[in-house]
Structure 1
């Protein structure tokens, strides 16, 4: 009897250990291990601001090499940094930085998508890659009414995605912010003028996300777009610094 009781006790202990291991695994996968409030849909929360890295130079945008840092205008006080996961990856992270004095503060971050084939330093029409670089942000618009944008906002049904696209794409251009790549500043984002020629591509925007890569734009959730529209201020001369992490840091 004593041996039987011992065996039952050992089996119970082993079962309890297995249960604790499983619970620990679930917590790591579904808890805060991957950033907590990831913004992946309507109404989702933004990722929390990371603790300050004591080794980071606060006067620089993290992960951005000198050649790109120098292209950020001296009067810019807002930077939207798009960190691509890889040169051929459609996945990225967007981080908003605001300059206070000489220091760049990390404000918010969101998961995002970029060109379905990744990134390029020589973007061409139809290559399905997002251009690497530093570009100003000067105009916004979309199908929906102005949500309180500080940038000049053009509302027009002309932004609507073609209805022959998959239905999951129809909301893409409900809100857009023009990235000033091969376009004329001060015009609606859907102005077709291409100062450097059609082959150079254009119509590259921040816009609403459909859950996968884009033709060349950067896409974010509805709540992220609303936040950026209400926050980006022409008086702070906002710019986007965008590219895969290796190109930005190299």
Structure 2
């Protein structure tokens, strides 16, 4: 598995990010108007793992992913065989669920539904830096990393102290451990690089540093967060040869 060690300049530049990854290595607080890392929800106890046998046929598996309308489905690449579906409770809600779907010969097989947090103010289809909303859309997943060592993912994994989070979240919860494991969401970033890469193809004003990461019990700045155990399961399940994507947004938007 590839290990990438960001330079000191890269770590310093990562402090300029405005998404959940914005304050990695130097987050001090989570009040609106600052540029820290995101907060995450404390997940419940261990539950059954995400599906690990994507080729297993499942009787009556749906041909399309439930809850996704024609517009959303049209944005899912035809070669995608894994879809992490993040469904927000409402357009202004920080609460959501995460389900990994695997495309099989019989259709799309659903894994367990996991509780999650998204951004403090909910969702937007035109994310901007500092708006405290998570971007709606379909994005590829190509890169991972974290403060802790690789738990066994097939994605390129960058381990280092640049993923250290400190301070507290919007609800006063500690952020420590939030970036122990992260998966970069390819919104306004350059795929194939460490999640700490600050390149913003759409410009800095459109935000960035949007990750899947460990939950710490509160809303995020733009990321999606799930329990540590579920993050490790997801990292082990994702396979770059199956071209994984994340499909994320509030339920009404995804149904369009």
Give TM-score scaled by structure 2 length.
Answer: 0.76
Q: Residues 154 and 236 of structure 2 are in contact (CA less than 8 Å); yes or no, is this contact kept in structure 1? A: yes
Give structure 2 stretches of 5+ with no counterpart.
1-40, 52-57
Is the aligned partner of 1:41 residue 2:43?
A: yes
Equivalence for 1:84: 88
Q: Distance in 1 between matches of 2:48 and 2:126?
A: 32
Q: Residues 173 and 216 of structure 2 are in contact (CA less than 8 Å); yes or no, is this contact kept in structure 1? A: no
Q: Distance in 1 between matches of 2:188 and 2:103?
A: 27
Is the aligned partner of 1:93 residue 2:107?
A: no
- The CA deviation string for residues 31-50 of structure 1, in whole angstroms up to 9 with x for no partner, is xxxxxxxx96374215999x
Select 2:138's aligned residue among 101, 124, 134: 134
- Distance of aligned partners of 1:83 and 1:53 in 2 relative to their CA distance in 1, 3 Å threshold: farther
Give TM-score scaled by structure 1 length.
Answer: 0.78
Q: Distance in 2 between matches of 1:132 and 1:105?
A: 23
Equivalence for 1:3: none
Q: Distance in 2 between matches of 1:53 and 1:109?
A: 19
Equivalence for 1:25: none
Structure 2 residue matching 1:74: 3-state secondary structure: coil
Equivalence for 2:116: 112
Q: Which has the higher contact order (CA 8 A, sep 6+)?
A: 2
- Distance of aligned partners of 1:188 and 1:79 in 2 relative to their CA distance in 1, 3 Å threshold: same
* TM-superposed deviation, 1:161: 1.1
**TM alignment of 1:3-82, pairs within 5 A:** 41=43, 43-46=45-48, 58-82=62-86
Is the aligned partner of 1:186 residue 2:192?
A: yes
Structure 2 residue matching 1:228: 3-state secondary structure: helix
* TM-superposed deviation, 1:96: 0.6
Structure 1 residue matching 2:174: 3-state secondary structure: helix
- Distance of aligned partners of 1:195 and 1:48 in 2 relative to their CA distance in 1, 3 Å threshold: closer
Q: Distance in 2 between matches of 1:117 and 1:102?
A: 38
- Distance of aligned partners of 1:93 and 1:159 in 2 relative to their CA distance in 1, 3 Å threshold: same
Root-mean-square deviation over aligned CA pairs: 2.3
Equivalence for 1:123: 127
Give structure 1 stretches of 5+ with no counterpart.
1-38
Equivalence for 1:159: 163
- The CA deviation string for residues 151-179 of structure 1, in whole angstroms up to 9 with x for no partner, is 10000101111457766211110000000
- How many pairs are equivalent? 208
